[in-house]
Amino acid sequence: MRNRLKVLRAERGWSQQDLAERLEVSRQSVNAIETGRYDPSLPLAFRIADLFGMAIEEIFQRGE
Amino acid sequence: MRNRLKVLRAERGWSQQDLAERLEVSRQSVNAIETGRYDPSLPLAFRIADLFGMAIEEIFQRGE
DNA sequence: GTGCCGTGTCAATGACGCTTGACAAACCAG
DNA sequence: CTGGTTTGTCAAGCGTCATTGACACGGCAC
């Protein structure tokens, strides 16, 4: 899966740490998802979508 | 997460085995997701949404 | 009744998601 | 140059996702 997390985060001027706190996950998890080392669980994908006010499909796309 | 998998499957007259084959997962995985024993991975959630021609959010909702 | 199908569930195994703690490199501030 | 922030990455550990193989039960055909 590809994702637009890094862009969305940068648009808001947040560090990985900031985002991690808002999502209630570790900074390493945010980093791993951004760098494509793994995909988030479905519940976390929902929290991410909620935080950015978007649909999951607008943030995550197949590919890679 | 709650999900409407069982209903959507029944609407199409598919067995768990039928659905499992279309999703390329085991029958046990379909059953576990339907009975709420665990949530699918994000990639599998995408395959499910694609199969039913719906958004992930239309099939899976928070709760439980 | 016997047989088959669909479903629910168990155990064991392997891969993935997420954690904490740590370290290094790049960057800019002072 | 020194110090703080940010990012990338590693390792170890634990719980979850998904697998195969197996078993039990209810429903329906015959």
CB contact under 8 A, B57 and A62: no
Of B58, B56, B36, residue with least CA distance to B46: B56
- Count CB pairs under 8 A between chains A and B: 43
Q: Enumerate residue ranges in chain A where pLDDT < 70.
A: 64
pTM for the whole structure: 0.94
Q: What is the pLDDT of residue B53?
A: 98
Q: What is the pLDDT of residue A43?
A: 98
User: What domains appear along chain A, each with residue ranges and CATH number?
Assistant: 2-61 (1.10.260.40)
Please count the CA atoms within 13 angstroms of the CA of A44 that sit on its side-chain side: 18
Mean pLDDT, chain B, rounded, equals 97
List, for residues B2-23, the tens digit of each pLDDT value: 999 999 999 999 999 999 999 9
**Greatest CA separation for chain B:** 28
User: Cβ–Cβ contacts within 10 Å for residue B49, how many?
Assistant: 18
Task: Please check the confidence at residue B64 and state whether its pLDDT lies above 80.
Answer: no
Q: What is the pLDDT of residue A19?
A: 98
Contact B56, A61 (CB under 8 A): no
| Å: A25 CA to C24 C1' | 23
Tokens of B39: 């949530």
CB contact under 8 A, A46 and B60: yes
